[in-house]
Structure 1
Amino acid sequence: MNSAEQFLQDRLQERTTKGLFRQLINTTLPFDFCSNDYLGFAKSPALKQLIEAQVKNIANYKNGSGGSRLLSGNHPYTEETEQFIANFHQAAAGLIFNSGYDANVGLLSAVPQRGDTIITDELIHASLIDGARLSHAERYKFRHNDLNDLAQKLKNAKGLIYVVVESVYSMDGDTAPLKEIVDLCKQHQAHLIVDEAHATGIFGHKGRGLTVQLGLEKDVFARIVTFGKAVGTHGAIILGSTALRNYLINFSRSFIYTTAAPIHHIVAINCAYQLLTTNDYPTQIAHKIILYNELLRNINLPIIKSSSAIQTILVKGNANARNAAAGLQEKGFDVKAILSPTVAEGKERLRICLHTYNSDEEIRNLAEQLKTLQ
């Protein structure tokens, strides 16, 4: 075995010994409380029919795009879809990326420059962390949702300042105090970037996100909306000014140097947004969230308060969290354990996702099973 292969084996063995070895699994449990498909769009027959009908209306579409957007991969329909989505979220313009990871890395690696400052909430997504690392800006973290700590970091910032938060945090499910953060950014001439991945479809009129719900869309420099959660498809869009869109087309490496998504992929995104406008999905998912929280009030478990579709029960220790999840899975409830180092040691948890297709009875039955964890 050569030295590189030995390195791989040693690292994998180390992870296995610590009980942290990851592997791909196929889950077919009857009650989904795991996926990010909050509105059921990923499995929606109506969306599938809409996509199939719309694809037929695009003449001579290709199986693949054939190149990057700057070469052969652009299409008028893609640009129309970008503007349609931007209008939906009350933004001037938008640029589609192949994934949320690509969008976050592409934005933060391209916009902040040497001499600038990026200040991030300590719990932001790994893709935002990686994007910030790729920039030449100074980087600081502030304690999660801690406005005083953010204010202190802003006082020490130099150059152009970018504050990066999620509107809904993917592991805790709690929301950022966006109004207060906007006020702080205005005081320090900082530019706010909000990842709306887990707020889209859940908050705001027709699911426009928490930024729009709070009327802050004009106060935010950039928003990232991903399509792989409530929108039920794949990809992401960066929303902002026309200047930001043009800048990213010119300087964002994860946009420039990658093959564009095929047109039927863009059709799926467009159709999902059409479906969003047809119903009051935020009210539907809110009913499930309220019901779950009412049931959990009578159960003595360490939870993180959340008004989003992501609900968390802390179960300290990787082995304990894994065993708790396995017990629920044996009863048919697809609930996953989130282990350290994905979350901080001592903050291991069960991450429970609620969906419009979870019946009230399923949620009540889940709550009954959670009582066994007390």
Structure 2
Amino acid sequence: MLKKFQEALDRRKEAGILRTLKPGLKGIDFYSNDYLGLSKNEELQQQLLRCVQENPVLLSGSSGSRLISGNSMIVSEVEHYIAQQHQYSDALLFYSGYNANLALFSALPDRHDTIIIDEQIHRSVHDACRMSYAKKIKFRHNDPEDLESILKRQTGTCYIAIESLYSMDGDFAPLKGIAALARKYNAALIVDEAHAFGVFGYGLVEKYNLQNDVFAVVVTYGKALGAHGAAILCNETVKSYLVNFASPFIYTTAAQDFIWLSIKAGYDFLKQRPELPQKLHQNINIFRNQNIKTSSSEISPIQAIIIPDNHQLKALQEKLSARKFLTYAVYSPTVKTGTERLRICLHSFNTEEEILEMAGVIKEFV
């Protein structure tokens, strides 16, 4: 058994795509999802520190699942607050976006249903579908016509799974068009807002007022909010069903109350600092004005530069690293062979000088 595992690892090492854990690197951040810099924001940190000093019990473990001893007034109040902010009737908090997606797609669809997913959807949705008895069908990335051709052939209940902003390509779903298709075919649309929340207000569902057309939304807090955890926005019936039937919710120890309060504090901080997303979008414009070829949206904080040669991609990342620019090279199998890319994440705290210098290094290669 160990020989089989080692052979698989050796093959990855030979291909130059072996993943390893590394300590936090020091340099200029162009690779994290901390789009607004809130994970390192001293003002927000001081607010959270005062909160803990006034009530140290917030750091205590929850001691059990939320259905046993891990529920609290705090988590219920934060869920109510989140639902109000997004104009949904209810919300259910999870320790991560991965667990939230596992809960949704493993519990809601049954063996008579179909889950239709964008081919570029996050890995967590694929894993959740493996836990479900429902049929899974992929549709071409951001292609409403292909989606409709699949919907036309279905007879039972359909769930449609998309992201509003895709993390590998930095492009947006045609959200309004897909919402219209969901209405037309009476399908349940589920939208993952992981990379849009905070960058575009409370996400694109809220921005376009699509709450009545989107069955459920997943909002994660480990990116633009700089915190941890995730919420499923839904109605009261769906929340109650998940509490009763979603294994990733039922059989996991609840997070400590500090996690939930840090999420609420993050929402409040976003309201106080509208200049942060404004500065981020200014930085996106600076990068886009360098005319580096990318298939990503011109307003996305994620800019993917396709470099299908693994050696060239690795050489570019190493040269950037030598100049203290931290970027992320994405090799297959994370993405399809031939679509390997350098993934640039822009932030509100990046300076114009940093962006221009990094862009200059990239231009030498592409």
State if a TM-score over 0.5 links the two structures: yes
* 2:357 counterpart of 1:365: yes
Q: Name the residue aligned to 1:249.
A: 243
Match among 338, 341, 347 for residue 333 of structure 2: 341
Q: Give 1:319 deviation, angstroms.
A: 2.4
Equivalence for 2:73: 76
Q: Which stretch shows the higher mean deviation, 276-285 or 93-102?
A: 276-285
Secondary structure at the aligned position of 1:219 is classed as coil
Query: Distance in 1 between the 2:24 and 2:70 partners?
Result: 35
Report what 2:254 is aligned to: 260
Alignment of 1:1-374 (within 5 A): 4-58=1-55, 60-61=57-58, 63-203=60-200, 207-280=201-274, 281-295=276-290, 297=291, 299=292, 301-374=293-366
Pair 1:310–1:62, CA change in 2 (3 A):
closer
Whole-angstrom distance in 2 between the partners of 1:292 and 1:315: 18
Alignment gaps of 5+ in structure 2: none
Measured after TM superposition, the shift of residue 336 of structure 1 is 1.3
Give the letter aligned to residue 257 of structure 2: I
| Cα distance in 1 between the residues matched to 2:20 and 2:59 | 34
AA aligned opposite 2:355:
I
Distance in 1 (alpha carbons) for counterparts of 2:114 and 2:77: 34
Aligned residues with identical type, % of pairs: 43
Q: Deviation at 1:59?
A: 7.1
Is the contact between residue 115 and residue 158 of structure 1 (CA under 8 Å) also seen in structure 2?
no
Is the CA contact 1:317–1:345 (under 8 Å) kept in the aligned structure 2? no
Distance verdict in 2 for CA 1:231–1:302, change over 3 Å = closer
Encode CA deviations 1:197-220: one digit per residue, 9 max, x unaligned.
0000011xxx21011111112210
Q: Residue 63 of structure 1 aligns to which amino acid in structure 2?
A: S
Letter in 2 for 1:92: S
| TM-score (norm. length: structure 1) | 0.94
C-alpha distance in structure 2 between counterparts of 1:63 and 1:29, whole Å = 31
1:169, 1:21 → 2: CA distance? 24
RMSD: 1.4
Distance 2:83 2:338 in 1: 40
In the TM superposition, what is the alpha-carbon distance from 1:248 to its structure 2 partner? Answer: 0.9
Letter in 2 for 1:181: I
Distance, in Å, in 2 between the alignment partners of 1:174 and 1:167 is 8
Aligned length: 365
Amino acid corresponding to residue 337 of structure 1 in structure 2: A
Deviation at 1:57, TM superposition (A): 4.2
In the TM superposition, residue 56 of structure 1 has moved relative to its aligned partner by: 3.7
Q: Distance in 2 between matches of 1:369 and 1:62?
A: 44
For structure 1, the 5+ residue unaligned runs are: none
SS at match of 2:146: helix
Deviation at 1:62, TM superposition (A): 5.2
Does the 8 Å CA contact 1:175/1:306 hold for their aligned counterparts? no
Q: Distance in 1 between matches of 2:83 and 2:54?
A: 23
CA distance in 1 between counterparts of 2:50 and 2:26 reads 31
* TM-score when normalising by structure 2: 0.96
In the alignment, the residues of structure 2 paired with residue 5 and residue 251 of structure 1 have an alpha-carbon distance, to the nearest angstrom, of 36
Farther off after superposition, 242-251 or 7-16: 7-16
- Which 10-residue stretch deviates more, 194-203 or 240-249? 240-249
Q: Contact conserved, 2:287 with 2:356, CA < 8 A, in 1?
A: yes
Task: Give 1:339 shift.
Answer: 0.4
Provide the C-alpha distance between the structure 2 equivalents of 1:20 and 1:287, rounded to a whole number of angstroms: 34
Change (3 A) 1:303 1:330: farther
Is the CA contact (8 Å cut-off) linking 2:114 and 2:135 kept in structure 1? yes
